[in-house]
Amino acid sequence: MKEINNKVKISFFKKIFIKICRILGYEIIDQSNFYVPTQEKYLNENLNTQGKSSITLPLGETKISRKVKALTIIYRSCTNVNMLTQNKKRLFDKEKSEYTFRSLNSIISSLNHARISFPQIELDIVIIDHNSKKSHLDQMKKQLNESHFKNLIISLNLNEFRDKIKKVNAKNEKVTENQISNMSNICKSLLIAKNQCKDLVYFVEDDYLHQQKTIKEMIFAYERISSQIQRELILCPIDYPYLYTKINPTNIFLGSARHWRVVGETLCTFLTSTNILHKYWDKLISMCQFEHYPFEQPLHDIYKSEYCLSPIPSLALHCTNVNSIYGLSPTMDWKTVWEENKNY
């Protein structure tokens, strides 16, 4: 009986102690049970609190000074062009529209997953489309309307940008009509981001397949790493194969559920802040006025001054040709992710 009373007393005082620690903002770790009683979570669960703290053991807590307020997805679509600069077939060997629909579905799924953790963050989607069939536009509208996120579809008008694009590129070749469409779409995306977006912007092409946890990890990683280094960031959610063809020194950061490494090259799918857009506006807009070689060279120039980070392992898949060094991200089961997004 005395032993039972002692256990009750210990339990009572333990509960009081946990409540006091919670009020004071301290965390308690019960390492014997792999448990954090102040959060009522196990150590293998997500211990981050959006906008307040990021906890990684054994490193402890990072106070969040860079709180994310809003995220706009700007999705560039064109279902009538299979490949921008190649005639090769894509992974899974489907019509281009299938990649557009599944990629959009994966983004919506990832946003829905993120919304649970980030009820205070404004999330919305803008699609900028060029010349897709009406039936394809109707399908995208259907997907957006069922998502319950604020959304908008804009039909791109090439005449708004055509005269601003130089007709000969860095290789002294005539700029193709497909490339003019691509450059115009990027320009429209940048203008919308600069003039309308409130905080973070994720520019994404319509052939990138996302895991459900992608958006959540990118937001948590942005808050944590930006707070640590006191700088704005660029995040690319793809672990491109090219990164394993070079032996270059890099820096590694911890996100929430991924390592993130500094990279010097990406394609035109990336997440960043409106602060970065304003700071490097002339450099970014130059991609829409002159076809560089490589096309993304202005981005690569920015990465010499700012941190661009890529996750290990990947959070998304670029559905290009299987042999592309900017395609199949290693060590991931992408067939399962492809199948998970077929019911759009």
Cα separation, 309 vs 331, whole angstroms: 19
pLDDT digits (tens, 9 = 90+) for 186-240: 999 999 999 999 999 999 999 999 999 999 999 999 999 999 999 999 999 999 9
- Who contacts 225 (Cβ-Cβ below 8 Å, separation ≥6)? 233, 253, 254, 255, 260, 307, 309
Q: Is the dihedral of CA 253, 213, 336, 96 positive or negative?
A: negative
Cis peptide before 119 (omega within 30 of 0): no
**Residue 13: predicted pLDDT:** 61
**Residue 1: predicted pLDDT:** 44
Cα separation, 229 vs 225, whole angstroms: 6
Which of 11-20, 59-68, 173-182, 248-257 shows the lowest mean pLDDT across its residues? 11-20
Cα separation, 260 vs 223, whole angstroms: 13
Whether residue 24 has pLDDT greater than 90: no
What integer is the mean pLDDT of 177-181? 94
Global pTM value: 0.90
In this prediction, residue 56 has a pLDDT band, given cuts at 50, 70 and 90, of confident
Domain 70-340 has CATH 2.60.40.420: no
**Residue 215: predicted pLDDT:** 98
pLDDT digits (tens, 9 = 90+) for 92-124: 999 999 999 999 999 999 999 999 999 999 999
**Residue 81: predicted pLDDT:** 80
Cα-based distances in Å from 337 to 168, 209, 272, 334: 40, 8, 25, 5
Cβ distance 56 to 182 under 8 Å? no
The H-assigned helical ranges of 47-196 are: 96-117, 134-147, 177-196
- Quote the radius of gyration of the chain (alpha carbons, Å): 23
41 three-class SS: strand
Whether residue 245 has pLDDT greater than 60: yes
Cα separation, 178 vs 255, whole angstroms: 37
Locate the domains of the chain by residue range.
Answer: 1-45, 70-340
CA-closest candidate to residue 138, choices 179, 180, 77: 77
**Residue 344: predicted pLDDT:** 85
Q: Which tokens in the block code for residue 296?
A: 């993304």
CA-closest candidate to residue 117, choices 21, 257, 274: 257
Q: Which tokens in the block code for residue 94?
A: 């489907």
Cα separation, 228 vs 69, whole angstroms: 18
